[in-house]
Amino acid sequence: MERLPLQDMTILDLTWVIAGPMATRLFSDLGAKVIKVESRKSFDVLRSGCQRKGNKDPRKEGGWAYNDFNHGKLDISLNLKSEKGREVFEELVRISDIVVSNFGAAAFKKLRITYDDLKEIKPEIIVLNASGLGDWGPYSSFVTFAPILQSMTGIESIVGYEGEEEPYGSYPPIADYMGGLAVCNYLFAAVEHRDRTGEGQFIDLSQGEGAVSYLGHVLLDWQLNKIKRGLKGNHHYSDGAAPHNVYKCAGKEGKWCAIAVTTEEEWKAFARAVDPSGSWTGSDKFESLGKRIENQKELDERVEEWTKLRSREEAARILQRAGVSCAPVQSAEDVLYSDEHLRAREYFREMRFPCSEKLPESFLVNDLPFRIDGKTGERGVSPAPEMGAHTEYVVMSLLGKSREWYDAAAAEEAFV
Amino acid sequence: MNFPYEGLKVLELEGAAGMYCGKMLSAWGAEVIKIERPGGDICRRRGPFATTAAGEKVSLTFEYFNTGKKSVTLDMSCAEGQSVFKELASQSDVVIESFAPGQMKKWGLDYETLKEHAPALIMLSITPFGQTGPHSAWKASTDLIVDAMGGPMAEVGVEGKAPLHLGYDILSFMSGMYGLFAIQATYHKTKKSGVGAHIDLSQQECCLTWRNQALGFAQIDEKSPRLRKADAVRQGLVNCRDGFAFAMVGGKWQETLDWFSDMGQDVSVFDAPMYRQHAADMLTKWDAVLLEHYNMLGSNYTKTGMMLEGQKRKLAVGVVESPDSLLLNEHFNARGCFVDVSHPVLGRLKYPGEPAKMGRCRQLTNKPAPLVGEHNRVIIERLRAVR
């Protein structure tokens, strides 16, 4: 088998929940050895989330979100406060390229794992801490879950129905994914720097600043135009497209399609497809983008008259064939079971849960969203390991400790 | 201090999807040349715009997502343009493109052809649905379409109304960061092996990776999250004197009740079994009574004041910033999150800087985007010298 690109890389992973684990799993998917450190007292809290009913011990079997973000990793249980646990940790730092965490600053000091501590152990180590709002600054100790970050960075304020004062409210944890992506990108930048110079470094990653960096155009718009655009629903945020909305389709309640018409060429194609005689699309109310924005309410009603008579799939087929952007709004079930395109690309991969009675035998999880030279990731993957599943392997095989040493350390509660 | 990717040579072709990816590489010292069609990249016609004194419209999306890059205009549809592109590609490490699948091949500029002269070249293709499969030719002129096909749209919104889209092209730019990761991972191997690769990235698939909770619910509970019921109360948003704060119980139910009490509210109504689960709940499961108590609390504070008091009590409360107030946020400003950029036409402006601070590397985020064809002469002269 061809070597995966990251087989020479070892990551000591002290992260939990979403942003960190999502990032390190992408590395393990590409061949990096990721050693996840947990302990009986403080295991990854995501293990308990999204659980099937009846599961008694999340340390044995995490919920599915946990499995998605942690399969393919080595998992060890380590008590950093014990002497031998500390020794194992320091040796792990020595064999690692990267230590990645998402603690608050106080926890580092308490556990003696600040960058200064770690570079003492290995000067060229790369250390990245991904926190909600960064390692320092007036709000750095704040309690921040993704929705809080989404609020503080302005994302919350742009999702909502047109004409309403109140934004929609709780949005899926997009800020965690933004943070996770930034973790990936910055780790590589630091690895590249180390490969060139031999130097390690500390990276202070603020998920909040990661999120703000997606909104530069919005901030420039405010500085230069001083217009409060307010909530736009599904209309184009800067009036750059019309029609641009989600429309009701035929069939059971709750079937929708999205249509986006940006250029005049697309508008002409759209008009030919939905109104070949030009009975309404020919009206001067819709003759230019400016006019279509001005008369958007009427435009949307007209478009919906057309979509309502068609299934969302049919609407998408007709308009895409005409060269117009249109797509069905797909639920999770739709993407899993009826999206022919994803099936043809063999996107989802199977995870088997041999230990559970109540889970389906196979469970579909995400692959990487890209293929390198056409290759997908492994088709069948194992669930995320039990907490501490690889403690013995890591300590004895990777670090070369004897059975006697391991047993003595275990007796001193180094691995709880 | 040096830049992590200094010396890396990148060509970034037309389109929005790869812009953030190229922007980061440029911040890290790579030379990123935008190849624009004569007259300028189509993204220069993407709003929001600023209008100059001369009445010219400047795309702020283009300006922000292309900081630090160079610009060369090239007509890729004619033989001469194609031959110049081939020369440029043979001297580059990375090509980022997001044309409709098949377009590069039509021009004779697909990866298979380019790699003959540049075996170490890495090409990233970012498209809405990827290079293969029945929907690969489908168009997605804006993020609305990929959000519908793969994003969280189906579970965001209120029953009886249309599902809601996350706007401002955010999903495209996030996909670009996946593209950056793929480039970085490939380059990590290529720099040793000398063998490049073609990366096929699908924005729809990127969106799916941000939906893993819903995908699990669909398979195990046999029902994924749906739109909010029309009579359900909104979650998390608290009315304050000057706007909204966002509050979560976050497992701290007693502390939340204490806050209500301290502000003179009667909390006996919460002495019911249904509320006790809030002690364990990380999420916001609000009913009308809880919302009312939060709003009474909010009436005592400004949105920032509500956050500061909540956080003093170790509760997860955040101010809901809007673009105008975000620029004034004391924390982001203290960390230097916004950098000053002197734009040749628009003047001095605040741009978001880098998402993370690197102890030993420089990052360049305050160099404005190039003018159309600003580097034509320099790059052509460089080509001549090589010839």
Q: Kindly state the percentage of chain B with pLDDT values over 90.
A: 88
Burial of B76 (0-12, 13-18, 19+ CB in 10 A): buried
> Is pLDDT at B70 greater than 60 in this prediction?
yes
* Distance between B290 CA and the closest CA of chain A, angstroms: 15
Q: What is the pLDDT of residues B86-132, one digit of tens each?
A: 999 999 999 999 999 999 999 999 999 999 999 999 999 999 999 99
The pLDDT-based confidence of A3 (bands split at 50, 70, 90) is confident
Asked whether A99 and A415 are in contact (CB, 8 A), the reply is no
Q: Is B119 helix (H, G, I), strand (E, B) or coil?
A: coil
Q: Find the mean pLDDT for residues B352-365.
A: 97
Which chain B residues touch A133 with a CB distance below 8 Å? 331
Q: What is the pLDDT of residues B247-280, one digit of tens each?
A: 998 888 899 999 999 999 999 999 888 887 776 6
Q: Where in chain B are the domains?
A: 9-210+363-386, 237-320
The residue of chain A nearest to residue B186, with distances taken between CA atoms, is A5
Q: What does the H/E/C string look like for B25-61?
A: HHHCCCEEEEEECCCCCHHHHCCCEEECCCCCEEEHH
pLDDT of residue B20: 97
Q: Find the mean pLDDT for residues A86-96.
A: 98
The residue of chain B nearest to residue A229, with distances taken between CA atoms, is B323
DSSP A202-245: EEEEEHHHHHHTT-HHHHHHHHHH-------TTS-TTS--SSEE
Which chain B residues touch A236 with a CB distance below 8 Å? 47, 142, 167
The residue of chain B nearest to residue A233, with distances taken between CA atoms, is B164
Residue B178 to residue A181, Cβ atoms within 8 A: yes
> Is pLDDT at B303 greater than 90 in this prediction?
yes
Asked whether B250 and B316 are in contact (CB, 8 A), the reply is yes
Q: Kindly state the percentage of chain A with pLDDT values over 90.
A: 82
pLDDT of residue A1: 44
Across chain A, mean pLDDT equals: 93
| Rounded Cα distance, A339 and A318, in Å | 17
Q: Give Cα A214 to chain centroid, integer Å.
A: 15
Which among A187, A193, A173 has a CA at the least distance from the CA of A34?
Answer: A187
Asked whether A33 and A12 are in contact (CB, 8 A), the reply is no
Q: What is the pLDDT of residues A365-381, one digit of tens each?
A: 999 999 999 998 888 88
Q: What is the pLDDT of residues B137-158, one digit of tens each?
A: 999 999 999 999 999 999 999 9
Say which DSSP state B354 is in: -
Amino acid in the structure at residue B173: F
Cβ neighbours of A114 (radius 10 Å): 17
Check residue B222 and give left, alpha or beta (phi > 0: left; psi -120 to 50: alpha).
Answer: left
> Is pLDDT at A357 greater than 70 in this prediction?
no
> CA-based angle A160:A161:A162, to the nearest 5?
120
Q: Calculate the alpha carbon distances from A142 to A104, A138, A207, B74, B311 in Å.
A: 9, 9, 13, 50, 6
> Is pLDDT at B226 greater than 90 in this prediction?
no
- Picking from A29, A128, A213 by the largest number of B CB atoms within 10 A of its own CB, the best residue to mutate is A213
pLDDT of residue A106: 76
pLDDT of residue A261: 98
The pLDDT-based confidence of A104 (bands split at 50, 70, 90) is confident
The residue of chain B nearest to residue A30, with distances taken between CA atoms, is B185
Pairing label, strands A349-352, A362-365: antiparallel
Say which DSSP state A375 is in: B
Burial of B356 (0-12, 13-18, 19+ CB in 10 A): buried
Domains of chain A: 10-213+351-411 (3.40.50.10540), 244-248+256-328 (3.30.1540.10)
Place of tokens 């079997």: A61
ipTM > 0.90, yes or no: yes
Residue A213 to residue B181, Cβ atoms within 8 A: no
Cβ neighbours of B12 (radius 10 Å): 28
Residue B355 to residue A170, Cβ atoms within 8 A: no
> Is pLDDT at B48 greater than 90 in this prediction?
yes
Which among A121, A212, A264, A217 has a CA at the least distance from the CA of B50?
Answer: A217
pLDDT of residue B52: 93
Which chain A residues touch B324 with a CB distance below 8 Å? 222, 228
Q: What is the pLDDT of residues A206-260, one digit of tens each?
A: 999 999 999 999 999 999 999 888 899 999 999 999 999 999 999 887 899 999 9
CATH for B9-210+363-386?
A: 3.40.50.10540
Q: What is the pLDDT of residues A26-79, one digit of tens each?
A: 999 999 999 999 998 889 989 988 776 677 788 888 888 899 999 999 999 999
The residue of chain B nearest to residue A181, with distances taken between CA atoms, is B177
- Picking from B141, B206, B211, B333 by the largest number of A CB atoms within 10 A of its own CB, the best residue to mutate is B141
> Is pLDDT at A355 greater than 60 in this prediction?
no
Cβ neighbours of A350 (radius 10 Å): 13
Asked whether A242 and A299 are in contact (CB, 8 A), the reply is yes
* Distance between A402 CA and the closest CA of chain B, angstroms: 34
Q: Could you tell me how many CB contacts below 8 A there are between chain A and chain B?
A: 488
- Picking from A18, A101, A136, A151 by the largest number of B CB atoms within 10 A of its own CB, the best residue to mutate is A151
Q: What is the pLDDT of residues A147-188, one digit of tens each?
A: 999 999 999 999 999 999 999 988 899 999 999 999 999 999
Q: What is the pLDDT of residues B169-198, one digit of tens each?
A: 999 999 999 999 999 999 999 999 999 999
- Picking from A16, A171, A341, A364 by the largest number of B CB atoms within 10 A of its own CB, the best residue to mutate is A341
The residue of chain A nearest to residue B132, with distances taken between CA atoms, is A345
Q: What is the pLDDT of residues A192-212, one digit of tens each?
A: 999 999 999 999 999 999 999
All residues at 6 or more sequence positions from A111 whose CB lies less than 8 Å from its CB, including other chains: A80, A81
Residue B356 to residue A326, Cβ atoms within 8 A: no
> Is pLDDT at A293 greater than 90 in this prediction?
yes
* Distance between A403 CA and the closest CA of chain B, angstroms: 36
Asked whether B373 and B71 are in contact (CB, 8 A), the reply is yes
> Is pLDDT at B284 greater than 80 in this prediction?
no
